[in-house]
Every structure is written in structure tokens, then in C-alpha cells.
Amino acid sequence: MITHPAFRVEPWCLRATYLDLSVLAQAESVFALANGHIGWRGNLDEGEPHGLPGSYLNGVYELRPLPYEKAGYGYPESGQTVINVTNGKLIRLLVNDEPFDVRYGELRAHEQCLDFRSGVLHRTADWASAAGCAVRVSSTRLVSFVQRSIAAICYDVEPLDGPARVIVQSELVANERLPSSDGDPRAAAILKAPLMEEEHAAKGARAGLVHSTRDSGLCIAAVMDHVVDGPAATVVQAESFPHLGRVTVTAALEPGQRLRLVKFVAYGWSRSRSLPAVRDQADAALAGASQTGWDQLLAEQRAYLDAFWDRADVELDGDAEIQQAVRFSLFHVLQAGARAEGRAIAAKGLTGPGYDGHCFWDTEAYVLPMLSYVSPEAVAHALRWRHATLPMANERARQLGLQGAAFPWRTIHGEECSGYWPAGTAAFHINADIADAVIHYLDATDDAAFAHSVGLELLAETARLWCSLGQHDAQGRFRIDGVTGPDEYSAIADNNVYTNLMAQQNLRGAADVASRLPDRARELGIHEEETARWRDAAEAMYIPYDDTLGIHPQAEGFTNHQVWDFATTAAEQYPLLLHFPYFDLYRKQVVKQADLVLAMHRRGDAFTAQQKARNFTYYERLTARDSSLSACTQAVIAAEVGHLELAYDYLAEAALIDLDDLEHNTHDGLHIAALAGSWIALVAGLAGTRDRDRTLSFAPRLPEDLSRLALKVCLRRRRLAVDVRTATVTYTLLDGEPMPIAHHGEPMTATLNNPIVRPIPAAPAASPTPTQPPGREPVRRHPRKARR
């Protein structure tokens, strides 16, 4: 999208200056609005044409059967698919009885703008009907961060060159017809008419619909109300049907007159509460929004985002596209999780139905590390959701003959939804990813109440799984055999290095927190003998190493496999999973996404500098990057081992994953973890930020084309500003008590409003730039800089 001529590079917004229907579905994703609870794709107000209609409520799904050629013990019986709920975005317009449709008449001008600072989507259109009657349509759309059940639209119509009779139809529509699936396994299953009618009503300028889902047993209410400002003779009427609520406004406008419609939409849903209770919840939220009014909703939204940007903004000099992209990323990650209270953060957030709306390990491994530094309350909510699913994870572990908890590979509600167990159930590392997020959150916030109520139990139940899944061998090493690591082109491997290192951290972290909270540990049945077993397993954890090659194999025996024949693999055969059987991929040295390289990022303390450099070079030539999760990790380690220009290239790939539609599936939603990865590539990569042993350390260096990188980090009730220039860096503590930090290994203490300026040492001589598989090299960044 960012390379499309309609789109402009601007620091604080994403703007399309005309409408191109060939990229309509992608535009609907990038212009989506959400707050973690409600998600509205950026569809045109009138609803048609569309690429993919989409209105989502976090946690609302329907069940669908998972077909198996041959059933097996422990296979999930059903899957969960996010559904398109009641669409409250629709505002249709008729001008002198001709429908406003951009495909007909004359569209003289069209602009859409997603404003990152105000949190709204603006649209303007100048259109003339086939009969020549011209009007200007303007709308501003908002999904509230402050009132999480509320979305609203301000819609204006004015004639341009003569009188016009206009009819505006504001609608609630359920069971919209969706386009069929394209067969891509990353896409969602399409469920026809998933909503069953329960109630409908309309009166005055209000209408409401209540539906239920047949199999998942959810109740969903959507209600709308309007404030109309038009000529004295304006008429308003409402009507409702089982799947349609409509408020119709009719006005005769003279030149210079305008019809304004402010639409407030409220949603409510529940699995356990009664239909009247859910309906009343939505009605109450609507009443609150109506009392607040449109102008105050806008002011609340701006104030919320002002506070967010004050602690989260990243400034970049030297690359306007990446500056725009990182703010786009931060804004959409915030939208995915800000108000996801008691619910998951899905891989596509609430921007589309991709991956069936499921939450994966992406959340804990990529999204929560970023949010821990800029919006820690969202991290606490996400982890409380995991804790709420603990009974299902415990039951899953028992089903598998294991102790503790076995968290699902992919889910919405908490049950395992992966029908392919080698890439699902066997990917036990998700337990350690959850534990890592808990440990990181506790270190970043010192949230004692969270540790007591949620943190220790999550750490203990995940640690118990490793002790039952692994075993001590004859040499006394603790082995974890038959698991799948982050790289989905390898499965059922022994001693995956990432899994073992993260499990080691999980075991140590559980023992440490249990020792700090002895009373809570006793309540959870954790005794000294058990914590001693955790520590023993951690100390004896087997980490394979190939002495011949001088590198760590991704998993035991990995370097003995045949290297994939990249030379004869055509460009159109990527991603490989769509063109080759997993049986072939599993037997070869080919990497879908950074695995061992991710271990070096997340557990950098387990590797020497020399090992990191050798490992990185080895795995670069094997990594196909068929996953959106790979580039940011490669950027981090490329920067650490001295390949700054390569790190810059990978940063761009992470940041532009959706703005350039690099995975060719932005049409069904954004890649939330990859967008978080652009922040990781800047902060952990170019700024060299690490948080270990309660000391925040930095090792900043900039590639040639960038002259400045400025960021803020919130940690333990402190806020630190880091301003990196070509030759120097300035650390300024903006809030809080003195803070221990380190600069390229030099310890120091930051004190309030007392800037510390340090020179940036020259980078050590790096090894030759590593090579990538033919045709899978990242696009070099700097030649694009002069394009605009």
C-alpha cells in the first residue's frame, strides 16, 4: 500500500488520496479501527463495493467441526472461528433516488485518512450521480478507547451545485454475505449465517438487534442511536427486522445546507448472562455515549492517545517511510490490545478474519514484550486471560498424560483448535513463551499483586509440564524430546534449542517467584522438593552443540539433514508450505522463521558473542522467511553481531509487512506480531536494548542512512528517554527514582532530568555479510529512500 501512488508518506497518518478498487481489501485492513474489544474494518460507509466486510467482537466465535481422515486420541473435536458480527458501520445514501455508489456516476475526488494521534478514520468523497447531481460526503469514524463498547460515526452530506433531496439509511445488518475462501490455509473458514435472531426493535432514531450463536452459545446485542442536524423539514423514522435495523433520514437540501448524522453504536455479548442482561448492557453503554456526545468522544480519544504517544513514540530521522510505518505499527498494536480485557490478542487483532481469529504464541513472544514497555496494563489483561484458560490447559495436559498445563497452540476461547498436531500440540514452547511474558512483565512492573494472583500459578503450571515432558538421560542431561520449535518447517525434533532454553528460564523463574512468595506457593501446593526439581532440571538442561561446524544446531541432529535445494526453487514456490509437502520440509535444512536466531535474542545470556556471529551466518543461508515473524528477529541479531545495513533491511521488512503487503494476505487482516516486531527491530535491534538482572542496557548503533533514533522506555514506574545520534547517545530519566542502566557495557545511573551523554563506540569488525537463500534476500533499504 505504501508503494501505491494513491498513498502518501506522512509522519502521523496513513492517507489514500484516491480510491483504487483493486486494492480495496488491503485498504480495509490498514484503515481498520479497533480498541481490543470492538473491531471495524475500514469498509466504505455505504458498504459496497467491499473486499471483505468485517465487524468483530473479541472472543465472539462459532464452533466448526475439524474433519479427520482418521481420528486419533487427543485430537481436538472442533475448531473455533471468529465471526462477522452485526455491522454497525453501514450508512447508505440516496441522492434524488440514485444510490451513492463509487462504481457509478462520477467519483470526482476521494480521500481516506487514518489519524494516529486522534484515533479516527476520516473520509471525504465528491460524487455526482448519473443525472448530474453532485454532493460532498464526509465521515469521521471512531472506535473508542475510553468507552470500550462504543463506536461512532459523524456523517455529513452537502450538495455542491444545486438542490438535492437526500435519503440517508443508517443500518445494523447481521449475517452479511462474505466472499468465499481462497484456499489459503492462513485464511479463515467461512461460516454462513452464524447469527440466529432473538430480538429486534426500533423506535424514534434508535434500533437494536439481539442474536445468538447456535453451537458456541453466545448472545450478542447491537444497538444504535442518532443525533440528526438538518433543515427543519427533515424526517427521521426507524424500523427493524430479524437481521436488519434501519433508521432513515430524509431531507431536502439547498446549496450551502448540510445534513449531519451522528451515529452511536454499542455492542454487548456474553456466554453466561441472559439475553435481557446483554441487551441492557448494550443499551446502557449507548446511553452513556449519547450523554457524552460526539465532540467529547473525540476529546477523550485524543487525550487517551496523547498519553500513549507520550510514553510510546519512536522518532526516526533519515527514512520517512519507516517513521510512518513504525507509528502505524504502534497504533495498530495498541488497537489490538488496549481494551482486550479478559480476552486474547489475536494474530490479526480485530482487523480481519485471518487465521480464524486465533491467538497463537505470537502474542506472548512479540506483542507483549513491546506492550510491557509502553502499555503494561494491556499485558496484565492478556496474561489474566491466559490464567482464565488455565483449567482447560490443565485438562489438556492430563489428556496428553502430562502434569501441569499444556496451553493451546491456537485458540479463541482456550481449547486447542489445531487439527494438525505436529505443528500444534507438539509446539510446547508456547508454555515457555507465556512464562517468559510473565517473567518480563513482573520485572518491568514489580506488580506484586499480579505475581500473587496470576503470575506464580502460571509459572508453576508451565514448569510442571516441563518436568513431566522431559527426562534425565544416562549422562544426567535433561532432555525434551519430540517437540516442535518456532520453525514450522521442522517438527517432532529432540532438544530444540529455543524450547530447551526457554523451558530452562521457565523452571528457574517459577522457582524464584515461589521462593519470594512462600505463602502463595503453599496455597498452590508448591513445596521445596518440587522447586528443587525445577532447579535441577534447569541446571541439567541439554543444549546441543555441533563441534564440527562450531554452531548450535536448531535441534539435535538438524545439521545432519540435507540442505534444501534453494537453487531450483522458483520464486513463485514461496511460501514453501503452499507448494511442498511437510514430509519433505521436515527432512531438510530449511527454516520457515527464525528459530535458533530467536533463541539468541530471547536468551542471549546463553551464547557467547562468537557463537552468535557464527550461528547467525549459518542460519541466514537456510531461512526462507515464509513467516512474518522472522524479519524482526533477524534484524535484532544482525545489529548485535555488527551487520547494521542488513539489520536495517530486515527492519524495513518487518515495518512494511502490511503497508507493502509482503505476505500477500493483508486483505484478511494485519500481522499484529510483525508490526510489534518493527518496534522490536528498532528498540532491541538498532538501540541494542536488553533487560537482564534488573538493569536496562543499551548498545546503540545506527546504519549509514539513519541520523537519529529517539525512543522512550517505561520500566518499574520510571520513564527513560533514549536519543541516539550518529556519534552520541543521550539518556534522560523523565520520571521516577534513579535508574541503573548500562551503555555498551558501562554501568551508570540515570537520575531525574539529568541527561547522560555518551559516545557511541565504533562497531567491531564484523564477519563478511552473510548470504540468504537465492531470491529470498531482503530488499536493500537505502535505494528506496530517495523515491519520495
In tens, the pLDDT along 8-40 reads 999 999 999 999 999 999 999 999 999 999 999
Q: How far apart are CA 505 and CA 439, in angstroms?
A: 9
Q: How far apart are CA 6 and CA 26, in angstroms?
A: 13
DSSP states along 249-264: EEEEE-TT--EEEEEE
Q: Is the pLDDT score of 187 beyond 90?
A: no
Q: Is the pLDDT score of 2 beyond 70?
A: no
Confidence (pLDDT) at 35: 98
Strand-pairing partners, residue 479, are 471
In tens, the pLDDT along 510-544 reads 999 999 999 999 999 999 999 999 999 999 999 99
Let me know: does 757 contact 781? Beta carbons within 8 Å: no
Confidence (pLDDT) at 36: 97
**Using N-to-C axis directions, what is the helix angle for 497-516 and 528-539, rounded to 10°?**
150
In tens, the pLDDT along 553-570 reads 999 999 999 999 999 999
Q: What is the pLDDT confidence band of residue 146, given thresholds at 50, 70 and 90?
A: very high
Count CB atoms within 10 A of the CB of residue 733: 21
| Residue reference for cell 427493524 | 240
Pick from 639, 683, 708, 656: nearest CA to 373: 683
Confidence (pLDDT) at 192: 83
The grid cell for 778 is 531482503
Pick from 335, 324, 412: nearest CA to 371: 335
In tens, the pLDDT along 573-630 reads 999 999 999 999 999 999 999 999 999 999 999 999 999 999 999 999 999 999 999 9
Confidence (pLDDT) at 788: 35
Q: How far apart are CA 267 and CA 257, in angstroms?
A: 33
Q: Is the pLDDT score of 182 beyond 70?
A: no
Give this prediction's pTM.
0.96
In tens, the pLDDT along 298-324 reads 999 999 999 999 999 999 999 999 999
**Residues belonging to the chain:** 788
Lowest mean pLDDT among 67-76, 225-234, 750-759: 67-76
Confidence (pLDDT) at 440: 96
Confidence (pLDDT) at 189: 63
Pick from 151, 117, 131, 127: nearest CA to 46: 127
Q: How far apart are CA 718 and CA 445, in angstroms?
A: 9
| Residue reference for cell 527513560 | 720
In tens, the pLDDT along 248-292 reads 999 999 999 999 999 999 999 999 999 999 999 999 999 999 999
In tens, the pLDDT along 188-213 reads 566 789 999 999 999 999 999 999 99
- Please report the beta strands in 284-400, taking only residues with DSSP state E, as ranges in sequence order: 315-317
Q: Is the pLDDT score of 405 beyond 50?
A: yes
Q: Is the pLDDT score of 6 beyond 70?
A: yes
Confidence (pLDDT) at 67: 76
The percent of residues in the chain predicted with pLDDT above 70, rounded, is 97
Confidence (pLDDT) at 587: 95
Confidence (pLDDT) at 786: 38
Known active-site residue 488: yes
Three-state SS for 473?
coil
Confidence (pLDDT) at 65: 86
The grid cell for 196 is 440466529
Q: How far apart are CA 556 and CA 262, in angstroms?
A: 62
Q: What is the pLDDT confidence band of residue 70, given thresholds at 50, 70 and 90?
A: low
Q: What average pLDDT does this structure show over 429-448?
A: 97
Encoded amino acid at 330, one letter: L
Q: What Å distances lie between residue 348 and 133, 236, 654, CA to CA?
A: 41, 38, 15
In tens, the pLDDT along 349-373 reads 999 999 999 999 999 999 999 999 9
Q: What is the mean pLDDT of the chain?
A: 95
Backbone CA torsion sign across 480, 486, 487, 490: positive
Q: How far apart are CA 2 and CA 23, in angstroms?
A: 12
Q: What is the enclosing helix (H) or strand (E) of 680?
A: helix 672-680
Of 488, 530, 556, 620, which is the active-site residue?
Answer: 488
Confidence (pLDDT) at 523: 97
Pick from 514, 386, 401: nearest CA to 465: 401
Q: What is the 3-state secondary structure (H, E, C) of 79-129?
A: EEEECCCCECCCEEEEECCEECCCCCCEEEEEEEEEECCCCEEEEEEEEEC
Q: Is the pLDDT score of 783 beyond 70?
A: no
Which residues, at least 6 apart from 234, have a Cβ–Cβ distance to it below 8 Å?
228, 249, 250, 251, 259
- Adjacency order of strands within the sheet including 695-698: 690-692, 695-698, 739-743, 746-750
Let me know: does 510 contact 525? Beta carbons within 8 Å: no
Q: Is the pLDDT score of 184 beyond 80?
A: no
Q: How far apart are CA 35 and CA 436, in angstroms?
A: 25
In tens, the pLDDT along 686-739 reads 999 999 888 899 999 999 999 999 999 999 999 999 999 999 999 999 999 999
In tens, the pLDDT along 473-524 reads 999 999 999 999 999 999 999 999 999 999 999 999 999 999 999 999 999 9
Burial of 666 (0-12, 13-18, 19+ CB in 10 A): buried
Q: What Å distances lie between residue 737 and 307, 378, 448, 527, 716, CA to CA?
A: 20, 24, 18, 36, 9
Q: How far apart are CA 217 and CA 419, in angstroms?
A: 22
